[in-house]
Amino acid sequence: MKRSMAFVEARRQKILETLAANPECKVQDLADAQNVSTLTIRRDLDALARRGFLKRFYGGAALAETVRRESPRQERCKHAIAARAAACIHEGDTIFINSSSTALLTLDYVKERRITTITNNGKAIHLDLDPRIKLILSGGHAQFPKEALTGEFALRNLEKVTAQKAIMGFSGVSLQGGLTTSNVDEVAINEMMLRRATEKVLVVVESRKLGRDSTFVSGELAQISHLITDSDADPAFIEALDKRGIQVTLVEVAD
């Protein structure tokens, strides 16, 4: 049985790889590529859709927005922002990290510092961390494909801890909407981390997310201590943050 499931998962991974390279694929093409029946492919696509990896349409499927590959520049941008945020973390710090991929990347740049990280980002367990980093997961309901841990169990655990700093990313940051996310289940987790950070809240976002509102409000601009973004940010938006007393760091990203 385990061997059989391994084959199934391997086949489904190949489907995702094919979809990552092509905007959308037909059931028949996927079946031909893997030498299996169209019925088998439909079952695979339905299973992957339930897990949030793809969107089904009549006769085929497309990769879900949340798992589409980012451009090389976007990747460089996220890494540059994360590296700058890591410089704000000091020996002995306890930090919160939310489900943001940019926030999680920060840990890749924390070296030779003994810190404690509390996160609801399930992808943290896959990282090759510096051994001095103590990792604590919030627990909770795992939402795929983002692997965000949410729900009452996660909240109950987070309300029992504090951290000096919170490093957090959001789907949108705007003057009107504040800090917003596209996932309603992450709102309460974000709110808890914002409240339980005792010293600083560092928001790490690409400039393309500034001035943009997503669906669900997680916090207010006044809760930001320090915003780190790339140098493509709108100068007028940055000036508005400066007038509100929010420290802003712009990082250069190579083309």
- pLDDT tens column, 13-41: 889 888 877 767 899 999 999 999 999 99
Structural domain boundaries in the chain: 2-67, 72-251
Measured CA to CA, the distance from residue 85 to residue 187 in angstroms comes to 22
pLDDT surpasses 90 at 62: no
> What confidence score (pLDDT) does residue 2 get?
46
Per-residue model confidence (pLDDT) at position 1? 42
* Cα-to-chain-centroid distance, residue 154: 17
Prior bond of 72 cis (ω within 30°): no
Protein fold of 2-67: Arc Repressor Mutant, subunit A (1.10.10)
Mean pLDDT, to the nearest integer, of 184-207? 98
How many CB atoms sit inside 10 A of residue 178's CB?
Answer: 18
Q: Which pLDDT value is given to residue 51? A: 80
Round to whole Å and give the CA distance between 191 and 171: 14
Residue pair 50/14 in contact by the 8 Å Cβ criterion: no
Mean pLDDT to the nearest integer, 137-163: 93
Give CA separation, 114 vs 10, 109, 184, 227, 248, in Å: 38, 13, 33, 24, 26
Q: What is the mean pLDDT of residues 2-12?
A: 76
Residue percentage of the chain with pLDDT more than 70: 95
Give the Cα separation of 71 and 69 in Å (integer). Answer: 7
Summarize pLDDT for 202-239 with one digit per residue, the tens: 999 999 999 999 889 999 999 999 999 999 999 999 99
Domain with residues 72-251, CATH architecture: 3-Layer(aba) Sandwich (3.40)
Name the token pair of 63.
Answer: 């990769």
